[in-house]
Amino acid sequence: MKVLICDPISRRGIDVLRQARGVEVEERLGLKGEELLAAVADAEALVVRSETKVTRPVIEAAKKLRVVGRAGVGVDNVDVEAATERGVIVMNTPGGNTISTAEHTFSMMMALARNIPQAHSTLHAGKWDRKSYSGVELYNKTLGIIGTGRIGGEVARRAVAFGMRVLAYDPYLTLARAKALQVEMVELKELFAQSDFITIHTPMTEQTRGLINKAAFDLMKPGVRIINCARGGLVAEMDLVEAIKSGKVAGAALDVFETEPLPPTSPLLQLPNVITTPHLGASTIEAQESVGIEIAHAVIEALTGGSIRNAVNMPSLDAKTLSLLRPYISFAEKLGCLLAQTGPRRCERLIVHYAGRVAELDTNPITRSALVGFLRSAEGREVNFVSAPIIANTIGVRTEETRSSAPSDYAELITLESRAGDERASVSGTFYGSVNNPRIVRLNDTPVEAVPSGVLFIMRNKDRPGIVGWIGTIMGKHGVNIASMSLGRDKQGGKALTILNLDSEPPVELIQAALAEKDILDVKVATL
């Protein structure tokens, strides 16, 4: 398995990759254009920071690519949509540089409050100018934090320690976490109106792009100061320039920019009350060591089928959760595969119903696995955890989940149902005794008890004596051995269901012979 390192990461991170069994590591830094496209051709994993742009053409050129590991928080330089379509896992390291970025944010805020860079430059120029650089205290000032995740939360803790009043806007902030951080939860307009300092710590999305713009500045109090150490583009730069020139904004401290590197002609560089640093938020020895090691372990785990950590385009599973869910994930894929081979070809809705103990678990990965199995059999193409939802959406299959804790015949039950108009097909499964003993217990509402493995011969027939013996004779005549058998029926003398686990695929002649028998209604063969 080849891992291509495209940007500098810590030596300890590289050592982790080199020491992994079966992993070949190649370092090629600063690649661009055709050179990059050629280098990724045989790579199964790419490790990048912010310099290398993993675009759609790069992903398409990397035919073997399975993982993109970003040693850092954001994935702005990775085309996540293109990766997802190809079934490539994109993962980052959101925790590795939390403290470094929080400390840089706070350092920028203090430098902004006391005009430290400007005073430093003046003194080095041979001037002793104390009057021009009088600053403000942080104590008793109001800090507005937009986004209180890992970094925003750490900034809040430091601000409280400095005696600041902290306002927080975050749609996902709970009352309990706000209380723990000692912050006041407010709406965004209120935060703009009351804050003396505003710092932003949100991801870059279509909803957050240009979040701090002219309309936002109009709501702010005169003399407000702006800090952005998160993502360039969260603050509309030209609107900020105008707000500073008008005196509405007293100053800004920016570590990130809409275009990086920041062009020398940028108006921001012409304003004396704007402090700039070249994207240094995560640039500490400790942070780079941490993210390098973290992404190395994450990439190895993903390549070797272990836990998935910090994936941005699929559910993340730590080792403990994966160990717990693995039997359910495997079983759900087989149920999906069986449903696709036994139900109608057309499917508009795939409904996964969980009952009993399994309903208490994190079922998202289980549902994805069921969808993977269903699509692989129905579509006949390669599908994985990452690409399954995209493919389902493309072909018009809507996936739904339902749960029930109500008592039933089984301690836990997974039911997959395919619907298209009035057509409906379903399959249910559970575990007997332990998660190592899965069983198919219902097919289209007929109770059975079949092992979900290998080749399944599924026959619907009229319930009459002699059918089982007859089909056994036909199997023997064609040299097909029966490994196990399960029988079910709706009522005595009604319709019966026979599922045989076979040691080999039945020949076409056997199936034709079975269908020629007048009491056999239907025959299907499924491979799990």
Candidate from 71-85, 89-103, 147-161, 379-393 with smallest mean pLDDT: 379-393
Helix (H) or strand (E) holding 94: none
Provide the 3-class DSSP secondary structure of residue 4.
Answer: strand
- Using the predicted structure, report yes or no on whether residue 381 has a pLDDT greater than 80: no
Provide the 3-class DSSP secondary structure of residue 211.
Answer: coil
| Closest CA relative to residue 312, chosen from 67, 43, 64 | 67
Q: Is 479 a domain residue?
A: yes
| Same domain assignment for residues 388 and 486 | no
Cβ(9)–Cβ(295) below 8 Å? yes
Above pLDDT 70, what percent of the chain? Answer: 99
| Same domain assignment for residues 268 and 368 | no
Domain boundary among 438, 463, 489: 438
Instruction: Using pLDDT thresholds of 50, 70 and 90, give the confidence band for residue 309.
Output: confident
Give me the helices (H) in 125-252, please: 150-161, 175-181, 188-194, 214-219, 237-246
| Same domain assignment for residues 251 and 290 | no
**Strand 349-356 and strand 412-420: pairing?**
antiparallel
User: What is the 3-state secondary structure of 20-75?
Assistant: CCCCEEEECCCCCHHHHHHHCCCCCEEEECCCCCECHHHHHHCCCCCEEEECCCCC
- Name 68's bridge partners: 46, 90
| Same domain assignment for residues 159 and 230 | yes
Specify the number of domains making up the chain.
4
Q: What is the pLDDT of residue 311?
A: 86
Domain boundary among 402, 420, 438: 438
Two structure tokens written together for 493: 């003398």
Residue 215: how many other CB atoms lie within 10 Å: 11
Q: Is 311 a domain residue?
A: no
CA distance 218 to 207: 19
| Same domain assignment for residues 186 and 170 | yes
Q: Which residues are catalytic?
A: 231, 260, 279
pLDDT in tens, 313-340: 887 777 778 788 889 999 999 999 999 9
Q: Is 131 a domain residue?
A: yes
CATH number of the domain residue 450 falls in: 3.30.70.260
Q: Is 10 a domain residue?
A: yes
Which domain covers residue 424, as residue numbers?
317-438
pLDDT in tens, 168-223: 999 888 888 999 999 999 999 999 999 999 999 998 888 899 999 999 999 999 99
Q: Is 308 a domain residue?
A: no
| Same domain assignment for residues 105 and 149 | yes
Q: Is 385 a domain residue?
A: yes
CATH number of the domain residue 339 falls in: 3.30.1330.90
CA distance 145 to 170: 9
| Same domain assignment for residues 170 and 233 | yes
Cβ(23)–Cβ(44) below 8 Å? no
| Same domain assignment for residues 105 and 189 | yes
What is the total residue count of the chain? 528
| Same domain assignment for residues 7 and 18 | yes
pTM over 0.85: no
Provide the 3-class DSSP secondary structure of residue 289.
Answer: helix
Above pLDDT 90, what percent of the chain? Answer: 75
Instruction: Using pLDDT thresholds of 50, 70 and 90, give the confidence band for residue 510.
Output: very high
| Same domain assignment for residues 111 and 255 | yes
Residues near 26 by beta carbon (within 8 Å), at least 6 away in sequence: 2, 3, 4, 5, 39, 43
Q: Is 71 a domain residue?
A: yes
Instruction: Using pLDDT thresholds of 50, 70 and 90, give the confidence band for residue 407.
Output: low
Task: Render 400-455 in DSSP notation, one character per residue.
Answer: EEEEE-S--SSSEEEEEEEEETTEEEEEEEEESSSTTSEEEEEETTEEEEE--SSE
Q: What is the pLDDT of residue 477?
A: 92
The answer to whether the bond into 261 is cis (omega within 30° of 0) is yes
Cβ density class 266-297: b for 16+ within 10 Å, e for less? bebeebeebbbbebebbebeebbbbbbbbbbb
CATH number of the domain residue 247 falls in: 3.40.50.720
| Same domain assignment for residues 416 and 468 | no
pLDDT in tens, 238-272: 999 999 999 999 999 999 999 999 999 999 999 99
Q: What angle do CA 89, 349, 439 make, to 5 degrees?
A: 80
Cβ(30)–Cβ(23) below 8 Å? no
| Same domain assignment for residues 454 and 477 | yes
Cβ(79)–Cβ(48) below 8 Å? no
Q: What angle do CA 54, 253, 212 make, to 5 degrees?
A: 70
Eight-state DSSP code of residue 517? S
Q: Is 462 a domain residue?
A: yes
Domain boundary among 388, 405, 438: 438
Q: Which residue has the tokens 């695929």?
A: 505
Provide the 3-class DSSP secondary structure of residue 456.
Answer: strand
